[in-house]
Structure 1
Amino acid sequence: MTDCGCDKAKKDLEEYLHHELQAEDARDIREHLEACADCAGEHQVGVVLIEAVQRACRETAPEELRVQVLARLRELQLHA
């Protein structure tokens, strides 16, 4: 087991969360997270944020709001 240390784990956490690291670097960080409660907590915060953003991107505005926004945009274009 190679513990990459907190500094490296925190520096590379964003890339780790998005699966953007080389396999060896990801393994080192994963092993560090298993042994370090502080870094594991930061990882969990990152996971929650990613999930919240993904949920928000799937949500759509109510049809009534969409109609109102489009009507207002058309009105502004006419008076521009």
Structure 2
Amino acid sequence: MTDCGCEKAQKSLEEYLHNELCKEDAGDIREHIDSCPECSDEHRVGIVLREAVQRACKEAAPEDLRAQVMAKLRSIQAEHA
């Protein structure tokens, strides 16, 4: 594998984080991240953001808020029917 460089690593980081790269490209990115403090930091930020989004998607709105939103949507639909 060859060091891919910061530009390629940063451009491919999102796909790398989602395991969407071929084995060779993923290996090149991993090798670069391991040897480049700046890209390693970007990688860690990407992981933290991905995990935060995953947690947020698992959370549900409180039932009273859900009821209020649904009531408002029904009201708006009734006005336009």
Please, what TM-score do these two structures have when normalized by structure 1?
A: 0.91
In the alignment, structure 2 segments of 5+ residues that lack a partner are: none
Q: Deviations over 1:11-55 (max 9, x none)?
A: 111110110100000001101111100000001111111111101
One-letter code of the match for 1:69?
A: V
User: Where does residue 26 of structure 2 map in the other structure?
Assistant: 26
Q: Deviations over 1:41-79 (max 9, x none)?
A: 001111111111101100000000111111122222333
One-letter code of the match for 2:67?
A: V
Among the aligned pairs, what percent are the same residue?
A: 65
Runs of 4+ in 1 over 4 A off after TM superposition: none
How many pairs does the alignment contain? Answer: 80
Q: Distance in 2 between matches of 1:45 and 1:34?
A: 15
* CA RMSD in angstroms, aligned pairs only: 1.2
Please, what TM-score do these two structures have when normalized by structure 2?
A: 0.90
In the alignment, structure 1 segments of 5+ residues that lack a partner are: none
